[in-house]
Structure 1
Amino acid sequence: MIRGEAYVPEEANDVWLSVIGKSLAYLCLKQAEQADPDRMSGVLAKVKFLMGLGLSQDDAAAAAGSTAQSVRVMKIRKRSSSGKKKKKRRTS
């Protein structure tokens, strides 16, 4: 160990890297909202953007100001209202 260099366990590095990554994703979201507010108007658009940056749906929902459960419900409602038909199940 070099003199003056602090020893940090590997687990602590993983935690901090996760925090830094989520913080940068949040800053990117805020910058995208300023650049194109119409495109980032809804929670689903924000979650999709954050998931594109590599966040999980749970983390993306939290950063967008929602919960993972409500995002899941919004996705289901959007899918059902878009006109896509559900596949019929075969009954034997």
Structure 2
Amino acid sequence: MAAEDPDYAIWLPVIGKSLAYLCLSHAVKEHPVKLKEVLPKVEFLEALGVPTRDAAHAAGSSVASVAELRRLAKRRKANGKKGSKKSARPDRR
């Protein structure tokens, strides 16, 4: 930021991220099943305008992990599957 920026310009992003984190905390309490996993939490925060890096950190993950989760979700959607499951045959012991 430039030296002539007012003091509030420094604090506005901090306040915004704090409010977004509080909104996420409240949303998780209201809808624990919907926001159980990391990717929905990150998408929720991004919808509030939080950058991906900060959203991943607030959700307890990293940017690389979120990118991988998105890649896997996109692949699952393209294949028409919900998730990868092991074969249905019984375990041979």
Distance 1:76 1:14 in 2: 35
| TM-score normalised by the chain length of structure 1 | 0.76
Point out the structure with max Rg over C-alpha: 1
Counterpart AA for 2:9:
D
The RMSD of aligned alpha carbons is 1.7
Q: Does 1:63 align with 2:58?
A: yes
Structure 2 residue matching 1:34: 3-state secondary structure = helix
Q: Does 1:37 align with 2:40?
A: no
| TM-score normalised by the chain length of structure 2 | 0.75
- Equivalent pairs, count: 77
**Structure 1 moving runs of 4+ over 4 Å:** none
Task: Provide the identity percentage.
Answer: 42
Distance 2:6 2:55 in 1: 23
Q: Does 1:17 align with 2:15?
A: no
Where does structure 2 lack aligned partners over 5 or more consecutive residues?
A: 80-93
Distance 2:68 2:7 in 1: 35
Counterpart position of 1:51: 46
